[in-house]
Structure 1
Amino acid sequence: MPPPSDRPLNERTNFLLSQLGFHTAMRFTERLAALDIQPSHFGLLMHLAQGEGRSQQQLAEALGIHRKVMVGLLDDLEQRGLAERRRHPADRRAHAIHLTDAARTLLPQARAIADAEEEDLLTGLSGEQRRQLLGLLQHMAENSGNPQGVHPGLRRNPGSP
């Protein structure tokens, strides 16, 4: 076996994860374009679906993103008719964020796209291999320092590279 520094790229875990991540991210972005949303929109919509009514500040803190990025994401969702800001019932200086009916209609379609992308990615793996891979990736993610269930790409404005 060659010394670690001489290993080819196809024997490096970090390269393979990056290669597969880039590939699936590009395909997911292309697929979501049919719904006129980007992966960052999908991520925020998924978080909103788990608990509406949080303030912009609470959402930004929970997702570990800068408040200015949150404002940009919410502006995009509002312009698309997918989210709305309402006066927060407990803090009149804050806005509570809610999904619109359009978002409730769009989310099942977006989830189906995410499911199809995942299925394509995992083609060729048995059910046991899929469970094993998921468990290993979850374990690695827990040790990455990222908030659970929050993609690092969510921290950027939707239009930024």
Structure 2
Amino acid sequence: MPDTPYDALYDMPGHLIRRLHQISTAIFTARMAEAGIDLTSVQFAALKTVRENPGIDQATLAGLIAYDRVTIGGVVDRLVTKGLVSREVHPRDRRARVLELSPDGQTLLDRALPVAGLVQEDIVGALPAEDREPFVALLRRATEAANDSSRAPLVARKTEMIE
């Protein structure tokens, strides 16, 4: 097999991305626990997205956070059980469920946002300051370029929501 720049495991982008995901998840979990906040990173993304898109349906939420539709139901179930989100049948489409952030959800998200900011700093903090922005830009470009290869691709918000 010919030598490639990715022969060594520790130089393989896939391996490094997996490791960085492990690290970011561990940091997120630890930071939230330190703050006394019971949220996973996916629950955080869901809460933030519901706040930014009041009345969003579950399928649209899944697309906006690049999470599969089946699993998002369980995420929303847990947020509803925690009293952080309300889920109601859409008044004009009985098949759709609309989501709203509850007052408790708003309060928790307000507490979690600065902690999530610290997590981002923890993830890139070991990089020199001048490398952080280009690193994030490259991550974004690589993610966007491979979006269609995902089992749960990011789907841009549709302007025509059920009204």
Structure-2 separation of matches of 1:88 and 1:136: 39
Relative to structure 1, is the Cα distance of residues 22 and 105 closer, same or farther in structure 2, using a 3 angstrom cutoff? same
TM-score (norm 1): 0.76
| Corresponding residue number in structure 2 for 1:9 | 9
Q: Who is 1:71 aligned against? A: 73
Per the TM alignment, residue 19 of structure 1 is displaced from its structure 2 partner at its CA by 1.4
Q: Could you list the per-position Cα deviations for residues 59-78 of structure 1 after superposition, in whole angstroms to 9, with x for gaps in the alignment?
A: 34555655442332221111
Aligned counterpart in structure 2 of residue 137 of structure 1, from 136, 139, 159: 139
Query: What one-letter code is carried by the residue in structure 1 that aligns with 2:16?
Result: L
Q: What is the aligned-residue identity percentage? A: 29
The amino acid that maps onto 1:49 is R
Aligned length: 149
Question: Unaligned regions of 5+ residues in structure 2, if any?
Answer: 157-163
Give the SS at the match of 1:20. Answer: helix
Q: Do the aligned residues in 2 keep the contact of 1:83 with 1:97 (CA within 8 Å)?
A: yes
- Give the deviation of 1:119 after TM superposition: 0.7
- Secondary structure of residue in 1 paired with 2:56: coil
Structure 1: runs of 5 or more not aligned = 151-161
Structure 1 counterpart of 2:103, one-letter code: D
Task: Evaluate the alpha carbon distance shift between residue 149 and residue 136 of structure 1 in structure 2; reply closer, same or farther with a 3 A threshold.
Answer: farther
Among candidates 100, 107, 110, match of residue 108 of structure 1: 110
Q: Quick check: 1:10–1:16 contact (8 Å CA) kept in 2?
A: yes
The Cα shift of 1:92 comes to 4.1
Alpha-carbon distance between aligned partners in 2 of 1:87 and 1:111, rounded to the nearest angstrom: 29
d(CA) in 1 for partners of 2:62, 2:124: 32
Corresponding residue SS for 1:84: strand
Cα deviation per residue 1:78-120 (whole Å; 9 max; x = unaligned)? 1101000234233245332100011111112222222111111
Matches within 5 A, 1:28-67: 28-33=28-33, 34-60=36-62, 62-63=64-65, 65-67=67-69
Farther off after superposition, 118-127 or 55-64 = 55-64
1:121 partner amino acid:
I
RMSD across aligned positions (CA):
2.8
